[in-house]
Structure 1
Amino acid sequence: MTLIIDTFVQVAQDCPVTTGVVPTTKPSAKPSIHVLQYELLSADPYRYTIDDLIYEVHVRHKEYPEETVAKDADRIRAELFSKSHPCMRASTEQYRKFVEGTSSTPKLVYAMRNKRA
């Protein structure tokens, strides 16, 4: 596994959406994956690598007990990453600052396109 740091993933170039909204979950439902992603990233920006975020969301969404996570973290992670995962969703006010900025840090890359070019 290659660790990529100081990289900001921009929205795919063919994304039809021009603005983002804070994701929500129905009051009676458990938080969805996109809500968990948003909560974790907005509460602690820059803490997670993409793999760490996917893992943390997975164990929270599946509601693994803390004891199981502590004991079986390596097994859970191996099973989780034995298959591919969809790209992330992203949108914040800070997004525009990153993509319009002049600094070379962080490196800017685009997410995978929704359709082939």
Structure 2
Amino acid sequence: MRELTEEEAYQALAFTEKLVVGLGSLGRQYSDNDDDLAWALLAMFTPKLVNEAAQVRGMLYRKYSTEVREGEESDEADQLLENLAYWKPPTPKQLARFRQNRQKKQG
């Protein structure tokens, strides 16, 4: 098992804490105003936030990344994540249906 250094653990925990608390705050503050929530989310997800997420991901990924040996198809990190269900943005049709349902609830 690979261990994080104290600094790496702090960095990962701090980023996760900021993200979860920030999203929770936005959800509570704009729970009844989807338009403001959408703008707040857009303001929150700045390139700085995305870069910080990428740094934490890279740090964690490196703990499991190994060179691909001859005859192997992927490294250990890829194998660990091969069944990960990634979030996919809604299609325009799904988004329109979601918006319509939310407007009915708010209306």
Q: TM-score, normalised by structure 2?
A: 0.32
Q: Which one has the bigger helix percentage?
A: 2
Q: Which one has the bigger strand percentage?
A: 1
- Bigger radius of gyration, 1 or 2? 2
| Higher relative contact order (CA closer than 8 Å, sequence separation 6+) | 1
